[in-house]
Every structure is written in structure tokens, then in C-alpha cells.
Amino acid sequence: MARRAPQAEALAASWMESVRPLATRVYALRRRIATITVAVLAGLLFVHVMFGANGMIVYKQKRAEYESLKKRIALEQQENETYAQKIRGLKTDEKAIEKEAREQLRYARPGEYVYVPPAPANPTSTNHSAKK
């Protein structure tokens, strides 16, 4: 191993001589390299923030979906309240009960007649194929 030491030192010295100009050049351009590196990282961060899994584009889509669901919930709650009022009215108000009985069950008071329109006739199926 001691015999190879001078060869190793010579190899290291030749390698240092070949790398030294590159190292000097990199050292001289260190600020430019650092600036470019920071700019590339900022660009990658921007792309990730805008188009990533939870980026601004996805955020805006989810925000719009949230708003539409909020409106839908408000409409459903309003419809539920309407039905709850109808149910309360049918449980307590005699006029509401009579109205439903007359409309749906076709009940009538003594001396009244209920007129029911005739059911529409079933249209006959016609053959629309080409005739020769």
C-alpha cells in the first residue's frame, strides 16, 4: 500500500488541476447560480400552489361547489318548512282538512255534486314505418 501512495497523490493532484478551473468558475458565478436556483424554486412553488392537489384552481372549484350546495340546502330547508306548516295545518285547521278531502278524495257536502273530467283516451299506436 505504501508503494501506491505516490501514484494516488499524483492522481489526486492531476484531478485537482483539472477541476480547479471549474471550481474557480463556479465560485465566481455563485451569486448568479444562487439567484437562478431561487427563481426556479419559486417557479416550482408557484406551479404547485396554483395547480397542485390543493391549489388555487381546485380551491376555487370547491368554493363554487360549496356555494351551490349552500343554496341548495337553503332551498331544501325552505321546502321542509313549507311541508311542516302544511302538516301542522292538516293536524289542527279544519278548513285545511276539508280542502284536502275535497281535492284529493273528492268528498262533497250534502247537496253538492263533484264533477270529474273524463280520463283522456289512450292514443292508438300508429306504425310510422315507410309504406311501399
pTM across the whole model: 0.47
Summarize pLDDT for 12-31 with one digit per residue, the tens: 888 888 888 888 888 888 89
DSSP string, 40-104: HHHHHHHHHHHHSTTSHHHHHHHHHHHHHHHHHHHHHHHHHHHHHHHHHHHHH-HHHHHHHHHHH
Number of domains in the chain: 2
**77 and 89 share one domain:** yes
**40 and 83 share one domain:** no
**103 and 67 share one domain:** yes
Question: What is the span of the domain harbouring residue 20?
Answer: 13-51
Residue 52 phi/psi, 5° resolution?
A: -70, -175
Residue 28 in domain: yes
Alpha carbon distance 81, 76 (integer Å) = 9
Summarize pLDDT for 54-112 with one digit per residue, the tens: 888 889 999 999 999 999 999 999 999 999 998 998 888 888 888 888 888 877 888 88
**65 and 95 share one domain:** yes
